[in-house]
Amino acid sequence: MVNPIEIKVRRLRKSDDRGGFQSGNIELDRFFHRYAGQNQFRHHIGTSYVAETDNRIVGFTTVSSAELTAEKLAKTFRRRLPDYPIPALRVSRLAVDERFQGNGIGKLLLKSVFELSLDIRDQAGCYGVVVDAKPETVAFYSRLGFFTLEIISGALRDRPEPVPMFLPIATIAQAAGR
């Protein structure tokens, strides 16, 4: 059991050793070992944040900017939104080392994403946080307030299908008191 207070979340550094990270999900591990660095430092298409304790990376999340369409948002929002693309922040990857799962680290990483979304809201605009959740993690995101977005029919889907989920910035702001 790890005390989440001892865990620090910070941006990934070039010098970080990512090789030992193991979440039990081969795709997520491969992404972190091979691509998280180049995506962040060379291509600038996604930034990773790591949870660290005792100089060891025990979790990571990768975020990038996203655009939502009013069509993609639930009916409740549709009426109040303009037709042009709406800025959002995407959680494109999230994983906790399997030896440390169940210690609040995933939640801690998402909290840092929420803080970031509020900073972006103020600096560039951000309507909320979006994630394509694996079916087995829908409950995890729901507990944090995410709700399921309508799926656009006809789109090519992975198997098993990810579930698009969304957390409005207003909800994040209210919880954070910002």
Ligand X SMILES: CC(C)(COP(=O)(O)OP(=O)(O)OC[C@H]1O[C@@H](n2cnc3c(N)ncnc32)[C@H](O)[C@@H]1OP(=O)(O)O)[C@@H](O)C(=O)NCCC(=O)NCCS
How does DSSP classify residue 88? E
Structure tokens at 66: 């996203």
- Residue 23 binds ligand X (CB under 6 A): yes
Shortest Å, Cβ 34 to ligand X:
17
CB crowding 35-54: b at 16 or more within 10 Å, else e: bbbebbeeeeebbbbbbbbe
How does DSSP classify residue 162? P
User: Per CB under 6 A, which of residues 143..162 are in contact with ligand X?
Assistant: 143
**Listed ranges 37-45, 103-111, 113-121, 148-156: which one lies at the site for ligand X (CB under 6 A):** 103-111
User: Per CB under 6 A, which of residues 25..44 are in contact with ligand X?
Assistant: 25, 28
Residue from 107, 125, 151, 178 binding ligand X (CB under 6 A): 107
Query: Can you tell me the distance from the alpha carbon of 45 to that of 73, in angstroms, rounded to the nearest whole number?
Result: 24
Shortest Å, Cβ 94 to ligand X:
5
